Structure 1
Amino acid sequence: MKKILVPTDFSKEAENALKVASHIARKNNSEIYLLHLLEIPLTNVDAINANADVPEVMFFMKMAHRKFKEILASEFLEGLTVNEVVKPDVSFSSIAEIAKEQDIDLIVMGSHGSSGFEEVFIGSNAEKVVRSSHVPVLVIKNEHEDFSVEDIVFASDFKKDNKETYRQATEFAMSFGAQIHLLMVNTPGNFTTTTKAKERIDEFIKDYSFRNYTITVYNDDSVEKGILNFAKDIDADLIGISTHGRQGIAHFFNGSISEDLVNHAKRPVITFKI
């Protein structure tokens, strides 16, 4: 985990995400790429592309650079390598593309938490980042003075198409020395015996050398409730879930899991692309 991308609009939520990114960067000797997308009208963006000197655009560019310098002076970034990335853009759907360009390993984003992805600090576009990103996306709800991860819930139906996400989760866990709690939620409409569930999980993880894990089969009214309640029961530091890309979190597991999981979770959530 050498490169961490943090999109920012210089809000409190963005600062919370940057603080978390700084903790991760120190643990992994990583660089931070602080990204600010300038919301500039299309006509002005075209002008920039044509190398024209647009006063309004230049003003916003200078303001962004000034705010970046103020952030660099923050004590929590002392000693870290922070790269400034300023892009004139009218949407945030290009964050995943920028992550590819910069060979990013992890995206860390802030969220208001009250309305989840519909009210994430950069408008409603964080959901687009989760859906389009090929690297893990860590969504931060609150301020963390010391972001330590000891217990990670990895919830899955443990079918073969989720194996790549588990590999990513184990790499993230190892970077923190954390334990993964493998969770399969039983619901009234989709019930599996404990014996069969554990057999499926054992088969799912048998090819991996990661051994710092527990296995839990949890009964609840819905998958979302099961994940949230189990995470609360063990006081987990982080919830890990899978996303099918363009279909988003709404097509997680065998059936469907709503974005309420992210909306209602009070703890950080990290998504992994299937």
Structure 2
Amino acid sequence: MRRVLVPVDGSQPSFDALDFALDVAARFDASVHVVHFSNQETDATEAIIERAREHVDASDLVDTPTVELVDLAVWTDSGVGKAIVQYAQEEEYDHVVMGHHGSGAVERAILGSAAEAVVRASALPVTVVP
């Protein structure tokens, strides 16, 4: 069974990516693991985890995906990107599906783009959902 990692950050694109991954997993008998990387747990963090669980509960998957918080010591987009790649490799995932906030030069400059960092650094297949 293929293992798919879906990092969520609370943005609509990250939840669009989660819905995409859940749909693909249901069609191709894959497992999904949803993670939120954060350097501290807050009410916003709890809301992100809860919203991810709602998306998971609404899916057609037989095996319920896991949703968890992963502690991240340093919070920067490049740091998140590196953490995602490292986590995916250590946990032996087959694929990463994640959202992206924009595709223009301005968006990349502002975001630093965790998605872009993952695409560039990962040897795993990465699907980026706008």
Normalised by the length of structure 1, the TM-score is 0.39
1:71 to 43, 52, 58: 52
Superposed CA RMSD in Å reads 2.5
Q: Distance in 2 between matches of 1:71 and 1:125?
A: 19
User: How many equivalent residue pairs?
Assistant: 121
* TM-superposed deviation, 1:123: 4.4
Instruction: Answer yes or no: is 1:3 the counterpart of 2:6.
Output: no
Aligned 8 A contact 2:23 2:59 in 1? no
1:68-92 deviation per Cα after TM superposition (whole angstroms, max 9, x unaligned): 2332223642445211232222221
Structure 1 segments of 4+ aligned residues over 6 angstroms from their partners:
none
Q: How does 1:38-53 map to 2 (within 5 A)?
A: 38=38, 40=39
Higher relative contact order (CA 8 A, sep 6+): 2
Task: Give 1:16's aligned residue.
Answer: 16
Q: Distance in 2 between matches of 1:78 and 1:70?
A: 17
Uncovered stretches (5+) of structure 2, i.e. residues with no partner: none
Residue 19 of structure 2 aligns to a residue whose secondary structure is helix
Residue 35 of structure 1 aligns to a residue whose secondary structure is strand
Aligned 8 A contact 1:109 1:140 in 2? yes
Task: Give 1:87's aligned residue.
Answer: 70
Q: Distance in 1 between matches of 2:15 and 2:21?
A: 10
Aligned 8 A contact 1:33 1:82 in 2? yes
> Whose helix proportion is higher, 1 or 2?
2
Q: Percent identity?
A: 27
Code of the residue aligned with 1:64 in structure 2: it is: T
Larger Rg, first or second structure (1 or 2) = 1
Residue 77 of structure 1 aligns to a residue whose secondary structure is coil
